[in-house]
Structure 1
Amino acid sequence: MRAELTRVCCALALVCAACAPAPSTVVPSPAAAPTTAAPTNAPPGTVGPLPATSAVSPVGLSIPAIGVAVRGLVPLALGPAHELQAPARFADVGWYAAGPAPGDPGPAVIAAHVDSRSGPAPFFRLRELRPGDEIQVERSDGAAARFVVDAVQRYPKNAFPTEAVYGPAPGAALRLITCGGAFDAAARSYRDNVVVYASTRWT
């Protein structure tokens, strides 16, 4: 996260025809990489400091268990309402460029659409992942960050777990986000979000 972003609101859901935004939550300014969990008495909706970003970016994503192999991830930023913007094209996968790069300390966030009117999008099968499945992210510095799925959860968009997604981690962590649950035809959006939690299995 850039230094000038001292405190910004960030909705943690996708914004698209099939994915409406979740309520805004606060993401604080970067600081040194945390080594402990956020205190339990922290104000609701806030998370601990995130590590500063580097010049490295993710350039490829591979999730063999669900047949995802993507090159050329696009950077995602905050929109006018301080919501995390989804990739402009349904076929793209994006990463939250104001947060840590996958493989750096802290929680990196990658998001993509679940589907569109024309059919499945890159994260259509995200909900099928299971603990132990592997995820690999290629980085622009030539390194490859390997993650192992810890959990897959589904949340109502009005109860998105901001602290769990953006909160401190004792090492490199990865969050994959898409839409899920029932489709609300009137609102033209899914009611839930699917979140995959993965880590480098630090010890």
Structure 2
Amino acid sequence: MTLCVTFSLVAGIVWVSSDSSDDTRSATAARGSDAAGGGREPFRRAPHTPEEHVPASHTPLVPSRPMKVAIPAIFIEAPVAGLGLDKKGRLEVPPLSRPKLTGWYEKGPSPGENGTALLVGHRDTRTGPAIFLNLNALRRGDKVNVVRADRRTAVFTVDAVKTYTKDKFPDDTVYGETGRPELRLLTCGGRFDAKAGYSANVVVFAHLTSLKKAA
């Protein structure tokens, strides 16, 4: 069982290959306007007031497992499951039977810890939309809140949203060390082909900017 892309880890760096399977062929109604055959109604995100200056990075936190992720601008609130590697060294993905679940690569930094933490989710499945369907609607200055097991919420501010084709995915840019706590959100993007799956990946770049106690 695979996502429309396969995340593999080599020498500590995550990279994206173009593996696909019949399980990844998505329902037409779930595809966005950038996918072949898309006919979905335009997504209306929450009102956005751009920040004049993106906040500076917050002091790194101690490691703590992420439990939930919330992204108010695109109406996301979802549980987070830990992900490991399969026998081929590829990052596991959330099960297709749970399209509203996100996954965290638990061998890497936890969100808020120094380094680049990784959260992945499906864009859609055979049965319809999944949790990261509208990830590409995020904008610079939007917030991503990650509730951790230590009952603190790490608040990240979006720096950029990029779409990369599979054959030109910049591993070092996406996963390289930056010297501060950062977060990457990944899902599928580009055009959809019934045989090859999606042509690209959507990547959200964000950094830790504040901390609050979980409610």
TM (normalized to structure 2)? 0.69
Mapped to 1, the partners of 2:207 and 2:108 lie a distance apart of 16
Return the offset for 1:123. Answer: 0.3
Aligned residue type for 1:26: A
Of 19-28 and 136-145, more deviation after overlay is shown by 19-28
Aligned residue type for 1:114: R
Indicate how the Cα distance of structure 1 residues 113 and 171 shifts in structure 2: closer, same or farther if over 3 A, else same. same
Q: Is 2:166 the partner of 1:157? A: yes
Structure 2 counterpart of 1:69? 77
Which runs of 5 or more structure 2 residues have no equivalent in the other structure? 14-61, 211-215
Match of 1:111 among 108, 120, 133: 120
Indicate how the Cα distance of structure 1 residues 200 and 23 shifts in structure 2: closer, same or farther if over 3 A, else same. closer
Match of 1:58 among 43, 55, 66: 66
Question: Following TM superposition, where does structure 1 have runs of at least 4 consecutive aligned residues deviating by more than 6 angstroms?
Answer: none
Indicate how the Cα distance of structure 1 residues 23 and 146 shifts in structure 2: closer, same or farther if over 3 A, else same. closer
Mapped to 2, the partners of 1:76 and 1:157 lie a distance apart of 22
Aligned residue type for 2:170: P
Indicate how the Cα distance of structure 1 residues 191 and 24 shifts in structure 2: closer, same or farther if over 3 A, else same. farther
Indicate how the Cα distance of structure 1 residues 191 and 26 shifts in structure 2: closer, same or farther if over 3 A, else same. farther
SS at structure 1 position matched to 2:73: helix
Match of 1:144 among 139, 153, 159: 153
Q: Is 2:139 the partner of 1:130? A: yes
Judge conservation of contact 1:92–1:122 (CA < 8 Å) in 2. Answer: yes
Aligned residue type for 2:190: G
Higher gyration radius (CA): 2
Matching of residues 1-203 of structure 1 within 5 Å = 15-16=2-3, 19-21=4-6, 25-27=10-12, 56-71=64-79, 73-88=80-95, 89-187=98-196, 189-201=197-209
Mapped to 2, the partners of 1:139 and 1:24 lie a distance apart of 24
Indicate how the Cα distance of structure 1 residues 22 and 174 shifts in structure 2: closer, same or farther if over 3 A, else same. closer
Mapped to 1, the partners of 2:5 and 2:137 lie a distance apart of 22
Indicate how the Cα distance of structure 1 residues 179 and 162 shifts in structure 2: closer, same or farther if over 3 A, else same. same
Aligned residue type for 2:146: V
Which runs of 5 or more structure 1 residues have no equivalent in the other structure? 1-13, 29-53
CA-based RMSD: 2.0
Q: Provide the identity percentage.
A: 41
Size of the aligned set, in residue pairs, is 160
Structure 2 counterpart of 1:4? none
Judge conservation of contact 2:8–2:91 (CA < 8 Å) in 1. Answer: no
Return the offset for 1:104. Answer: 0.6
Judge conservation of contact 2:114–2:179 (CA < 8 Å) in 1. Answer: yes
Aligned residue type for 1:70: A
Return the offset for 1:55. Answer: 5.7
SS at structure 1 position matched to 2:91: coil
